[in-house]
Amino acid sequence: MTMSLGAHLIAGGVHFAVRARDAAAVELCLFHGLQEERVKMERDGDIFAASVAGIGAGQRYNFRAQGDWNPGQGLFFDAAKLLADPYAKLLDSRFCYDPRLGQRGEETAMLVPKAVVADPPVSRAPLPPLFKAGGLIYELNVRGFSRNHPEVPPSLRSTVAALAHPAVIAHLKKLRVNAIELMPIVAWIDERHLAPLKLHNAWGYNPVVPMALDLGLAPGGIAELAATVAALRQAGIGVILDLVFNHTGEGDLAGPILSLRGLDNRCYARKEDGTLVNHTGTGNMLDAADIAVKDLILHSLRHFASLGVDGFRFDLATVLARDPEFDRHAPIFSAIAADPLLQDRIMIAEPWDLGPGGYQLGHFPSNWLEWNDRYRDDVRRFWRGDSHAAGTLATRLMGSSDIFTGGTTRSVNFLAAHDGFTLRDLVSYAAKHNEGNGEEDRDGHDENFSWNNGVEGPTDDPAILERRNADVRALLATLFASRGSVMLSAGDEFGRTQKGNNNAYAQDNEVTWLDWEGRDRDLEDFVSQLAAARVACLAGQAADLVRHAEWRDLAGHVMTPEKWEEEALDGFEVRIPLENGSYVSLRVDREARQCALKRCD
C-alpha cells in the first residue's frame, strides 16, 4: 500500500491515496480552473483512496480531512484547511506564509499550492555515483550562486538549470570539483517571523513536502533537475542533494496547517504531555521511528535516486535515528543499505541535532560520510594562534583517526559552510554581525574561532589585507592537504563575504548572492592549483602508508611526545611514503602562514 500513496496514473484516470490515521473522513479536492470538485475517499485501514476517471497528468488536486480538533492531543482536523499531498512530486506554485494558514476555520484553498498529477519518470536504473570518498564537494545555494553570474543568461539565473551552463561547468572543472551539493531545492515556506521584518528564507531549510521541487528554483520541475544532473554527469561532476527530514515548515503549535499536521499529525514527535519535541530548533521534529515518516523518507530518496543524483546530505541527521534516543543501528539505516536504488548512493550526515545526546560525530554507519565540525574548529584554532593546537591539527590532517576508526576516513573536512562565517569573514571579524536578521544579533553561533587581524570588518590598510590574504591561503592549503573528503563552500574560492553575518538564512539579497564580477581571481587560481596538487599527491593514497608517516619538527628533527605537547609549537612536517619509494611532504608553518604539500621523488 505504501508505494501507492500519492497520485498515480491508471487506465483511464488517476488513483489517489493518502495516509490519515486519525481522520474521520478525507476528501479529494480536484481543481478545474477556479472550481473545486470534492470526491469522497474510501478508507482502508490507515489509508484513504479514490480512483477518478477522465483525468490525467496535469490535474491539480489536494486533500481536506475531517475529525477532532484537539491540539493538546495532536489533532488538527479542520475541513477549511486545504492540505498538500505529502507525496506530491509537482506543485503549481510556491508556498507563501499567511497567518490564516494556522487559524482554525479560515479557508485556505486560495493560499495553498495545489499538487499536480505528474507523468511518471522514465524508469531506468541510475548509473553508479561519480563521487568517491576523498573527493571534493562544492556546496552551493542554487539561487545565490548564479543570481549575478554575468555569463549565465538572465532567464536561467537563480535556477537549477543554470548549473548546467557551460560557464558554470568550466568553473567547477577548474576547481576539480567531484560533486556539487545543492542546498535544499524542494518546496519550502518562510518562517512566520520573517514577513514583518520584510525578509525571506534564502536557504530552504523549512520544507513542506519532501519531493516537489520549489518552482522558484526549478520552474521546469523534475525534468529540469534530471537534465541538469545528466549534463553535470557528462562533465564528470556528480550531484548531491541536501535534504531536510528532521522537521517541516509547519513549525510549532501556532504554525501553519499545510500537509502532515492536518492529515497525519502522528508524524511529529511528541512528549508524554502532548507537547511537540523540538530537537531541531524549528518548533517541531519529525518522528523518524514512525512507519509513516520512514516510508516517506525512503520514497523520497528513491525518487531522487531515480533521477540520477549521486547521493544525499541529511540536515540534523541524528533525528533520523531517534526513538527517542539516537540508535546507530536504527531501522532507517538498514532499510537504506538494503534498497537496490539507494545502497550505492553517497550518504552524508550532519551528525548532530539540538536535543539530549544529539552530538553523534563518528557514530553513523561505516559507509556514511559525516560533516566533521571538529576539523573545522581545530584548524581554525591553530591558524588563529591558539596554544597546544599543533598536535590536534596533525590528527585532523590525517583523517581524524580519533573519531573515525578503520582504514578509510569518513570525515568530510570543511572550514566554512552555508551556516557560519564565510572563509574571508573568518579572518576579518572577531565577532558575528547579524543585525540585518532582525533579531538584535541574538541568532547565530557566538563562538566562531575567528579573528580580524587588527580591524573589525572592512579596511583599506594594506598590511592587514596582506595578513588576511595569507591567512585565507593557509587555511585553504590546509583543507586541500587533508585526508578525507573536502567540502568547499561556493564563493570561498574567490573571497566571498557576508559582511560578518554568520547566519544569513534570511538574506535573499547581495549578502548571499555571489559577486562574480568582483571576485578575487588570484585566489581562485590559487585554489585551482591546490586542487591539482591534492590530486597529484593524495589521490589513491593507501591508508597503511599513512600509518608509516614520518613526523618532524620545522628544523627537521624527529618529533617526540614532548615536542607535541609544547604550548607554542608552530608547525611540523610529515612525510608519507608512497609505494614506489617516493614520498609526499606536508609542511605546516604557522609563523610563515604556510601549508605546503608536494610530492618528492
Catalytic residue among 139, 250, 264, 315: 315
Q: What is the DSSP string of 40-95?
A: EPEEETTEEEEEEET--TT-EEEEEEES-EEGGGTEE--TT--B--TT-S-BSS--
CA distance 12 to 341: 30
Cβ 411 vs Cβ 372: under 8 Å? yes
Is the omega angle on the peptide bond into residue 324 within 30 degrees of 0, that is, cis?
yes
Cβ 160 vs Cβ 228: under 8 Å? yes
Closest to 347 (Cα-Cα) out of 453, 334, 513: 334
Q: Is 92 a catalytic residue?
A: no
Contacts of 87 (CB under 8 A, 6+ apart): 5, 6, 7, 18, 209, 211, 296, 299
Give the burial string for 582-592 (b: 16+ CB within 10 Å, else e).
Answer: ebbbbbbebee
Region of residue 108 (phi > 0: left; psi between -120 and 50: alpha; otherwise: beta): alpha
**Vertex 438: Cα angle to 433 and 439 (nearest 5):** 75
* Neighbouring-strand partners of residue 65: 26
Q: Is 350 a catalytic residue?
A: yes
* DSSP-assigned letter for residue 4: G
CA distance 446 to 427: 15
| Cell numbers placing 286 | 519529525
CA distance 27 to 63: 6
* DSSP-assigned letter for residue 109: T
Catalytic residue among 181, 214, 350, 573: 350
Three-state secondary structure readout of 318-348: HHHHECCCECCCCHHHHHHHHCCCCCCCEEE
For the annotated catalytic residues, the residue numbers are 315, 350
